Amino acid sequence: MILVTNNEGTPGVGETARRLARGEPALDAIEAGIRLVESDESIRTVGRGGWANLLGEVELDAAVMDGGSLRTGAVGALKGFLHPVSVARQVLERLPHELLVGDGAARFAREIGAEQAELLVPRAAEAWRQWFEHEVSAPDRARWPDVALSDYCRHAIDPEIGRDTTVFLAIDKSGNVASSTSTSGWAWKYPGRLGDSPIIGAGSYADSRYGACACTGAGEMAIRCGTARSVVLYMKQGASVTDAVMEAVNDMRHLKSGLISRVTIHAIDTKGGHKVAAVNGDGTQHYWHWSVGFDAPVALPAQPVTAHPGYATTPGSDRYTRG
Ligand code: ASP
């Protein structure tokens, strides 16, 4: 079985399904699928073609988790490499660590011969330039980049707030469960900002005894609630996959300050069940589902769930609020 974000998993979901159908391990199958997403420039929030940070640089985050061993590998704020998911996989395979960031992650990527690439494509460079020209004051443009960035970060608006990280969850023929994420994160983020995607337990978690979960959307909310680990833990405590996701939605309802926006929670259990809920969603969020015996993956709608009444209708409500 596979659960994948739509549309951000579209270039890779078929490849993952073919590999799983051939009996490949879940982690291999989802890494292969995500690599196709990362190199597809039309996916504007993942890999090459992803959005830049406030300084106009693309910083990528990715994670993998093997639910059999509970080993993980993740990279954060990685610059200049085409396949952060494979660098994350090699953190799992080769190091006694679980997460590398920034210069250390880039050093490791070079050491293992990971493919280097220019990640900022002309479309994304132009979008950043437009933001720079219109949002940055003339004195700051003259001194750039030696300016205080925090105010720009607080008022930054992702030009495509509805677009997402790619997340893949899978169970293979042997019953092993795996999860993976890959993203450029939010457009115009503060340099060095990590979202939930590289944080195991927030943006993803897999345990072959119970199932797996991964989130897209406002990573700050998933980090604060420890969402992915919570969903798997609720299943361990006996909740169905639907009840586990809805309990994680309740956790998010408790958030009253900070960045409040949309989070889509994707989860699978080991019995063939799954649930996808879009917290503060507007009904446009979809996902791909595939199981052995399907001719092809099918696109299904996520269930929109109101967690913060008025969120979707209040202009600017997806901005940062102090509190
Ligand atoms: N969750 C990602 C992050 O916060 C972004 C997204 O999925 O839209 O970086």
- pLDDT the model gives residue 30: 98
Q: How confident is the prediction for the chain on average, in pLDDT? A: 93
Question: What's the confidence (pLDDT) of residue 309?
Answer: 85
Residues 6+ apart with CB under 8 A from 21: 292
Label residue 162 by pLDDT band (50, 70, 90): low
Please indicate whether residue 165, judged by its CB atom, sits closer than 6 Å to ligand 1: yes
| pLDDT band at 81; cut points 50, 70, 90 | very high
Question: Could you read off the pLDDT of 181-235 as tens digits, one per residue?
Answer: 999 998 999 999 999 999 999 999 999 999 999 999 999 999 999 999 999 999 9
240 burial level (CB within 10 Å; 0-12, 13-18, 19+): middle
β strands within 155-270, DSSP E: 166-171, 177-183, 204-207, 211-217, 258-259, 263-269
Which residues are annotated as catalytic? 165
CATH fold of the domain at 2-322: Glutamine Phosphoribosylpyrophosphate, subunit 1, domain 1 (3.60.20)
The reply to whether ligand 1 has any atom less than 6 angstroms from the CB of 164 is: yes
Is the pLDDT score of 315 beyond 60?
no
The ligand 1 atom at the shortest distance from the C-alpha of residue 220 is 4
pLDDT digits (tens, 9 = 90+) for 283-303: 999 999 999 999 999 999 999
Is residue 311 pLDDT above 80, yes or no? no
Asked whether the predicted pLDDT for residue 266 surpasses 60, the reply is: yes
Ligand 1 atom nearest to CA at 167:
7
- Ligand 1 atom closest to 194 (CA): 9
Q: Which two tokens stand for residue 90?
A: 């090699």
Site to substitute for ligand 1 among 6, 164, 181, most atoms within 8 A of C-beta? 164
pLDDT band at 318, cuts 50/70/90? low
Q: What is the CA radius of gyration of the chain?
A: 19
Does 153 or 212 have the greater pLDDT score? Answer: 212
Output the pLDDT for position 164. 87
State in Å: Cα 49 to ligand 1 middle. Answer: 15
User: Is the model's pLDDT at 322 over the cut of 60?
Assistant: no
Could you give the residue ranges of the DSSP H alpha helices within the chain? Answer: 10-21, 26-38, 84-94, 102-111, 122-135, 138-143, 150-154, 219-225, 227-236, 241-253
Q: Residue 314: pLDDT above 90?
A: no
Ligand 1 center to residue 197 CA distance, Å? 7
Q: pLDDT-based confidence at 163, cuts 50/70/90? A: confident
pLDDT above 70 for 268 = yes
Domain boundaries, the chain: 2-322
For 289-318, give one letter per residue: b (16+ CB within 10 A) or e.
Answer: bbeeeeeebeeeebbbbebbeebeeeeeeb
Tokens of 305: 């769930």
pLDDT for position 323 = 36
Q: 221 alpha carbon to ligand 1 midpoint, in Å?
A: 10
321 pLDDT higher than 70: no
For every residue of 28-88, which 3-state class applies, written as one string? HHHHHHHHHHHCCCCCCCCCCCCCCCCCCCCCEEEEEEECCCCEEEEEEEECCECCHHHHH
In the structure, what pLDDT confidence band is assigned to residue 129 with cuts at 50, 70 and 90? very high
Percent of the chain residues past pLDDT 90, beyond the cut? 87
Residue nearest to atom 4 of ligand 1 (CA): 219
Residue 312 has pLDDT above 70, yes or no: no
Distance from Cα 190 to the centre of ligand 1, integer Å: 14
Whether the per-residue pLDDT at 106 is higher than 90: the answer is yes
Q: Are 206 and 175 in contact (CB under 8 A)?
A: no
